[in-house]
């Protein structure tokens, strides 16, 4: 088992998918122990640290990576299994940002109203009790919610010679901001360039579906993933597999196009995996799918289409992609057993 630990120095952070040289070259099957800074580049540490004052755009949402996966070529699929995602600090932060978020005009949903006030909320993170604690700023209220760590941003270099800001979700993955990107899940990403150039960041201690105000409970993370390759099989949009579900993502505007992409991908994916006619698959998905919204605030909005594996006739025993998820999960278990 190859294990590589990597903790970027501030000057090693990446701000785009594509257009950045790799920080490491790794073999398929490698376990990566990664640390990622929070989306504020660690600069929001108290309620007086307003984003508009402490962050110089575009130095927001830093990435750890990219990693060149040896042998990855366009037309392949990169599999990334999340072994664990754990907050590396006992606090996290959220905020409103002027002209950003779902319940305000923005630079694209442009308007003439005054922006909302810029307010920061600090959260206590308890990794033992597995909780995060919200404290209201304008009253004495206090709410304890479950810790549910995840990565908002996971992706590879895009196609068409593009480089995309780490704030953007699209077919290459990126800033999808879905709570489903949690430990135990395998993410499948289509490879667009040699080496795939995988990176991640934007840890969230938890977030609501939609990330309504534009910002989650943002925290630095210690994350272990296993990367692997599915040679010769392309993946049009990022997909996820958990023990119980298959999930397709779509990222686009308007939001219905994100929904359409995800549903279309799930319909065709399970059609192929299970040998179902597209119309039968369309009907089954119509009655069986869940559709968790990921974000309605980023440059593209993201929705998932999610179906229980138990509803999928003839899905191979190990799951999709001939059982990659089950196999990587086993390796992850072996890795974790070894660490104890």
Residues within window 105-124 making contact with a copy of itself, judged by CB under 8 A: 105, 107-117, 119, 121
Subset of residues 236 to 295 that bind a copy of itself, contact rule: CB under 8 A = 250, 252-257, 259-261, 263-265, 267, 274-280, 282-293
Measured between alpha carbons, how far is 145 from 198 in angstroms, rounded to an integer? 31
CB of 338 to a copy of itself, least distance (A): 35
User: Within the chain, what is the greatest distance between any pair of CA atoms?
Assistant: 58
Measured between alpha carbons, how far is 161 from 192 in angstroms, rounded to an integer? 9
Among 88, 127, 131, 212, binds a copy of itself (CB under 8 A): 212
DSSP bridge partners of 63: 14, 201
Identity of the residue, 102 or 326, whose beta carbon is nearer to a copy of itself in the bound complex: 102
Written as six digits, the tokens of 114 are 């005054």
CB of 312 to a copy of itself, least distance (A): 8
Subset of residues 14 to 73 that bind a copy of itself, contact rule: CB under 8 A = 15-16, 18-19, 57-58
CB of 267 to a copy of itself, least distance (A): 7
Neighbours of 8 (CB within 10 A): 18
How many residues interact with a copy of itself (rule CB under 8 A)? Answer: 96
Among 10, 74, 75, 208, binds a copy of itself (CB under 8 A): 208
120 burial type by CB count under 10 A (0-12 exposed, 13-18 middle, 19+ buried): buried
Asked if 76 touches a copy of itself (CB under 8 A), the answer is no
Cis amide linkage into residue 49, ω under 30° from 0: no
Subset of residues 116 to 175 that bind a copy of itself, contact rule: CB under 8 A = 116-117, 119, 121, 132, 134, 136-139, 141-143, 145, 159-165, 167
Residue tagged 């004052």 (tokens): 53
Identity of the residue, 16 or 64, whose beta carbon is nearer to a copy of itself in the bound complex: 16
Closest CA to 300 of 236, 264, 255: 255
CB of 132 to a copy of itself, least distance (A): 8
Closest CA to 4 of 79, 88, 73, 68: 68
């Amino acid at each position: 088992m190859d294990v590589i630990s990597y903790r970027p120095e501030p000057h090693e952070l990446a701000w785009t998918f594509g257009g950045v040289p790799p920080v490491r070259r790794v073999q398929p099957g490698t376990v990566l122990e990664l640390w990622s800074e929070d989306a504020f580049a660690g600069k929001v540490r108290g309620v007086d640290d307003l984003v508009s004052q402490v962050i110089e755009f575009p130095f927001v949402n830093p990435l750890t990576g990219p990693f060149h996966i040896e042998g990855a070529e366009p037309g392949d699929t990169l599999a990334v299994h999340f072994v664990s995602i754990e907050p590396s600090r006992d606090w996290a932060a959220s905020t409103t940002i002027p002209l950003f978020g779902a319940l305000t005009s923005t630079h694209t949903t442009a308007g003439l109203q005054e922006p909302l006030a810029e307010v920061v909320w600090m959260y206590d993170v308890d990794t033992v009790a597995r909780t995060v604690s919200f404290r209201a700023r304008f009253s004495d209220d206090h709410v304890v919610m479950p810790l549910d760590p995840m990565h908002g941003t996971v992706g590879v270099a895009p196609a068409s010679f593009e480089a995309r800001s780490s704030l953007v979700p699209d077919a290459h993955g990126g800033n999808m901001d879905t709570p489903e990107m949690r430990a135990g899940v395998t993410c499948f990403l289509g490879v667009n360039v040699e080496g795939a150039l995988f990176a991640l960041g934007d840890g969230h201690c938890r977030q609501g579906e939609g990330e309504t105000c534009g910002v989650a409970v943002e925290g630095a993370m210690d994350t272990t993933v296993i990367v692997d390759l599915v040679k010769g099989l392309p993946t049009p949009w990022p997909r996820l597999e958990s023990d119980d579900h298959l999930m397709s993502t779509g990222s686009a505007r308007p939001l219905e196009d994100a929904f359409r992409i995800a549903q279309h991908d799930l319909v065709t994916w399970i059609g192929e995996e299970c040998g179902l006619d597209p119309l039968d698959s369309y009907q089954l998905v119509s009655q069986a799918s869940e559709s968790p919204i990921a974000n309605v605030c980023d440059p593209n909005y993201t929705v998932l289409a999610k179906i229980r594996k138990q509803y999928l006739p003839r899905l191979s025993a190990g799951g999709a992609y001939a059982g990659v998820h089950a196999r990587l999960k086993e390796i992850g278990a072996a890795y974790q057993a070894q660490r104890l």
